Amino acid sequence: MDATAQLSFQDKRTLALSSLGGALEFYDFVIYVFYAKIISDLFFPNSLSPFWAMLNTYGIFAAGYFFRPLGGVVMAHFGDLVGRKKLFSLSILLMSLPTLMIGILPTFESIGYLAPVLLLFMRIIQGIAIGGEIPAAWTFVSEHVPEQRIGLANGLLTAGLSLGILLGALMSLWISLQFNETEIHQWAWRIAFIAGGIFGLFALYLRSYLKETPVFKAMQARKALSKELPVKQVLKQHKTAVAIGMLFTWFLTACVVVIILAMPNLLTSTFGYDRATAFKMQSAAIIMQMLGCILAGALADRFGCGKVMMAGATMLAIVAAIFYQSLGHASQHIIFIEYMLLGLCSGTVGMVSCSMVKMFPAPIRFSGISFSYNVSYAIVGGLTLPFIQILSQYSQIGAMYYIFALAIMACITAMIFKSKFESSPNS
């Protein structure tokens, strides 16, 4: 293989710093979920029923999703005009500071209704930040590495985001082992947020060593930066790419939200697994998803994103059917193995960013990825769990039908992507 296709030391350094920052930023975004019950107790009045307190808490969490498109579009606009690096650093600052602030916020008992208002404000800023971070990371890294390694680079980066979820789960477990329930409720829950904020600021410092992407610097030199609003150009000239990107993102939400985040609740509430076992299974599945992302990325550099997405989505549908129909029937050992295989197949999501990088030209790439990803995630990311809950009223394994339908959709979308954007993939 041509030596120019290999990742240089600088490429590996860029990948490592970007993946670490992405993992820590994703940790900051999801750690809220692990302490939602405690937050509902502390940040809302005691007169409120537990149901409404929890609903309000999840509503504040959802606000982070709804503000993702705003953050993504605005930050991507300036990222396409003033540079990837500046916005890449800003996103992690806007995530780490609110996380740190949540860790020291006074509760309802101290400042009344100002407590949930401040909490909502922090989540809005986090939503804006995460909306800019992920598209920024995909764009930044893809424009640093050789074109023949864009798949592997995006696979590694997406694996880093899964690592953020794993770090959140491990932090929650560590705190539960170190402190009793009373201590956690009174103050120890704050450790997870304060640590996340500090880690984020450390990642910001590390990112100061990153350099602007060669692609952006070349566009600056040629004066080839977008002359009009990048997002306007995206919507006017790249409608097909936007549609494909949004459908791929819908598939991604199923692999992350349903297969990873929501699985412990299904295992414990519907099939009687204890929390420790469900956590171990979830952690193993996250690790397998990370490996799947890297494997899918490496294969994409050889066979093309479209073929890998079709094969991965097909395997996901098959393994999902076997796994869900085994629940309540097969032994715990078998379920554990099947869930790890399901996690591995869900690593196909590593193709989402790789495909979007290929679809959007450099001058509006950041904006194109950001719009497609964030608008889709804001819509389907917020509606996925309620829809799965509705399906569960008709079947205990209603989630299986959702996964199956989206896997078919991903296959069809991948065929269209391949015909329009990969007419001559790497051989």
Are the CB atoms for 91 and 129 separated by under 8 Å? yes
Confidence of residue 373 (pLDDT cuts 50, 70, 90): confident
Mean pLDDT of 203-211: 71
**Alpha carbons 111 and 136: distance in angstroms, whole number:** 37
Task: Record the tokens describing residue 106, joined without a space.
Answer: 């006074």
DSSP state of 228: S
**Alpha carbons 397 and 405: distance in angstroms, whole number:** 14
Confidence of residue 266 (pLDDT cuts 50, 70, 90): confident
The Cβ of residue 47 has, within 10 Å, a number of other Cβ atoms equal to: 7
Q: Cα-Cα-Cα-Cα dihedral of 48, 53, 59, 60, to 10°?
A: 100
**Alpha carbons 333 and 339: distance in angstroms, whole number:** 10
**Alpha carbons 386 and 318: distance in angstroms, whole number:** 24
Are 8-223 and 226-422 in the same CATH fold?
yes
Q: Which residues of 369-408 are buried (b: 16+ CB within 10 A; e: fewer)?
A: bbbbbbbbbbbbbbebbeebeebeeeeebbbbbbbbebbe
The owner of tokens 């790249």 is: 238
Does 84 score more than 70 pLDDT? no
**Alpha carbons 159 and 178: distance in angstroms, whole number:** 28
The owner of tokens 């609740």 is: 265
Could you tell me the fold of the domain covering 8-223? Growth Hormone; Chain: A; (1.20.1250)
Confidence of residue 427 (pLDDT cuts 50, 70, 90): very low
Domain 226-422 indexed as CATH 1.20.1250.20: yes
State pLDDT tens for residues 150-188.
888 888 888 888 888 888 888 888 888 888 888 988 999
Task: Record the tokens describing residue 35, joined without a space.
Answer: 């302490």
**Alpha carbons 330 and 377: distance in angstroms, whole number:** 34
Domain assignments of the chain as residue spans, ordered by start: 8-223, 226-422
State pLDDT tens for residues 221-245.
544 444 556 677 788 888 999 999 9
**Alpha carbons 319 and 321: distance in angstroms, whole number:** 5
pLDDT at position 114 is: 94
* DSSP, residue by residue, 206-262: HHTT----HHHHHHHHHT-S-SS-HHHHHHHH-HHHHHHHHHHHHHHHIIIIIIIIS
